[in-house]
Structure 1
Amino acid sequence: MSDWSIADQAEVETWAAIRDNGRSSLSQASTLSLLYLLSALAVGAFLLFAVAQICEGAVYYVGWEEEEVAVAWMQTMMWIYAGTAVIALAGWLLVQLSLRGRLPWWLSAVAAKIPGVGRAIQTIALADFCESIFRSVAGSQTYGDAFRFAAQESRFTPLQNWAAHVALRIDAGQSWEHALSHPPIKDHPLAAVTALGQGQLSKEETIRMWHQAALDSHSLIESRSQRSVRNLFRIGLIGAVLTAGFAILAANTAIVSMINGLTFFGWW
């Protein structure tokens, strides 16, 4: 297994395609969900704005008392809709930049905690990392060089920084368990490597260990990316329905209140 074969190269290329497909599906799903939500927010804000313009300065009667139609709450709702749109855009931007590896470590950590998509982002980064280490150990590189190379290739900044520190610890002669302590991604492929790597392994066993970690990570990508895509579509659709529906209900409530007052129902 120490000799790099055509089958190994084909497997690595297959893994690269799995990661690219995972990134592409997450990027497209987050974009479509954003468009659904922004469309609903725009429709809702327009309805509230139109009704507020119609109702501004209008009065109605409750018995003999003259009441002015309240529009301040509709203006407040428009600002809430605008804030929601800004938050959605910020979340979308975090996802897109995280998938491309263009975020500082603290923003990457935030993106990795986004509900519905953060776990898939971490899994893609872990698969990228495990494959890089596998290629390095199969090419007879030392662990220090392997982790340094993985840090250069990683698109996930927290994992990139961690791998660089691991390389320094290994070069300093620290134990395997201590060198690999506190990983930014606590998933079972990396946990298995940390546990198994403490023993005295031959070169073939080391290669098999990292090969299995890479294989498990790429298997997780396919399941978690599909789950994340479904979650993103659900969030986008449910959010779109709720925001547009609430705006329609609020607009209708304001119009009905004004019509009831203008019909002098309170006089009878």
Structure 2
Amino acid sequence: MSHWSIADQAEVETWAAIRSNGRSSLSHAATLSLLYLLAALAVGAFLLSAVAQICEGTVYYVGWDEEELLVAWMRNLMWVYAGGAAIALTGWLLVQLSLRGRLPSVLSAVVAKIPGVGRAIQTIALADFCESIYRSVVGSQTYGDAFRFAAQETRFTPLQNWAVHSALQLDAGQSWEHALSHPPIKDHPLAAVTALGQGQLSREETMRMWYQAASDSHSLIESRSQRSVRNLFRIGLIGAVLTAGFAILAANTAIVSMINGLTFFGWW
């Protein structure tokens, strides 16, 4: 590549490490949060199952009438917990596949809207894209080739599809403004490129523009990934406490009812 110094190569490798660390931290945080939640759901379901077996067949008196203690609601609650575990597993799988760029466009767009983690996934994909375009510009490639190469490197399907479409438009002679309209990620590094790129820029100015976009994207990764990791841990811990606590409360309610049913005066 022309004008490609050792310092430039070192910075590109630093950017690659930032993206890798961002993906790794999000993946690990999502996995640990899932384990917290699944452990709480499993403990809660086991507790409900044990109490339901103990309480089954227990009778109590309402006045002079004998009533059987109902346990069907505890079994229904166990199915709710199983459904919660399935939803948590599905969400974890979607996040993992999105980080690796293996989701179709529609599902990728859904994951990108998940509060606390979707924005960080988009930022990592944007950093992939901007850094790839920067390397292509330094290598004097055409914008069409640069966008096609960036589409292969980014791991966010909507951005991949948009880059391929933009490359075809640029090859066909469309204007920069038209080819780069309606990007799937409306973050300020790409918005700045779209605005600045409408003017007549020299090659050095174009390189500087994409360098700044790549640099800003990687700065955003560090802040947003850290915030997303904290949010994932909070979600996992709060969800675990709530699910386990609710199961304990439900089991205690059934046990108290059973103990009261052992005495005639408890239900008088």
Please state which band the TM-score falls in when normalised by the shorter chain. Answer: over 0.9
> Aligned with 2:109: secondary structure?
helix
Q: Runs of 5+ in structure 2 lacking a partner?
A: none
Give, in whole Å, the separation in 2 of the partners of 1:239 and 1:66. 39
Separation (CA, whole Å) in 2 of partners of 1:122 and 1:67: 58
- What displacement does 1:261 show? 2.1
Q: Contact (CA 8 Å) 2:44, 2:247: kept in 1 or not?
A: yes
Which amino acid in 1 is paired with 2:128?
D
For 1:171, the aligned partner's letter is D
What does the per-residue CA deviation read over 1:49-70, in whole Å, with 9 as the maximum and x for residues that have no partner? 1111111221111222212111
Q: 2:216: which partner in 1? A: 216
* Mean CA deviation greater in 71-80 or 18-27: 71-80
Stretches of structure 1 lacking an aligned partner (at least 5 in a row): none
Q: Which amino acid aligns with 1:135?
A: R
Amino acid at match of 2:102: R
State the TM-score, normalizing by the size of structure 2.
0.97
Distance across 1 between alignment mates of 2:121 and 2:108: 10
Q: Using the alignment, how far apart are the partners of 2:243 and 2:94 within structure 1?
A: 23
Matches of 1:267 and 1:45 in 2, distance apart? 28
Segments of 4+ moved more than 4 angstroms: none
Aligned to 2:148: 148
Shift of 1:265: 2.3
Contact 2:60 2:267 in 1 (8 A): no
Cα deviation digits, residues 86-114 of structure 1 (max 9, x gap):
00000101111111122122221122122
- The match for 1:85 is 85
Contact 1:2 1:204 in 2 (8 A): no
RMSD after superposition: 1.3
Q: Is the 8 A contact 1:61 1:262 kept in 2?
A: no
Is the 2:261–2:267 contact (alpha carbons within 8 Å) kept by the matching residues of 1? no
2:110 is paired with a residue whose SS is: helix
Q: CA deviation at 1:182?
A: 1.2
Aligned mates of 2:180, 2:158 — CA distance in 1 = 14
* Correspondence for 2:115: 115
CA–CA distance in structure 1, aligned partners of residues 233 and 266 of structure 2: 47
Give, in whole Å, the separation in 1 of the partners of 2:103 and 2:267: 64
Deviation at 1:266, TM superposition (A): 4.4
Supply the AA of the counterpart residue of 1:183: P
The aligned length equals: 268
- Deviation by residue 1:198-257 (Cα, 9 ceiling, x = unmatched): 000110000000000000000000000000000000000000000000000000001101
| Aligned counterpart, 1:26 | 26
Deviation at 1:115, TM superposition (A): 1.9
What TM-score, normalized to structure 1? 0.97
**Kept in 2: contact 1:64–1:267 (CA 8 A):** no
Matched-pair contact (CA < 8 Å) for 1:62–1:261: no
Where in structure 2 are the equivalents of 1:207-246 lying within 5 Å?
207-246=207-246
Give the stretch that moved more between structures: 60-69 or 247-256. Answer: 60-69
Q: State the partner residue of 1:47.
A: 47
User: What is the identity percentage for the equivalent residue pairs of Structure 1 and Structure 2?
Assistant: 88
* 8 A Cα contact 2:37 2:240, kept in partner: yes
- Kept after mapping to 2: 8 A contact 1:44/1:247: yes
Contact 2:123–2:220 (Cα < 8 Å) also in 1: yes
Could you tell me how far 1:72 is from its partner in structure 2?
1.5
Matched residue type, 1:43: V
Shift of the alpha carbon at 1:30?
0.4
> How far 1:175 sits from its partner (Å)?
1.5
The residue type equivalent to 2:247 in the other structure is A
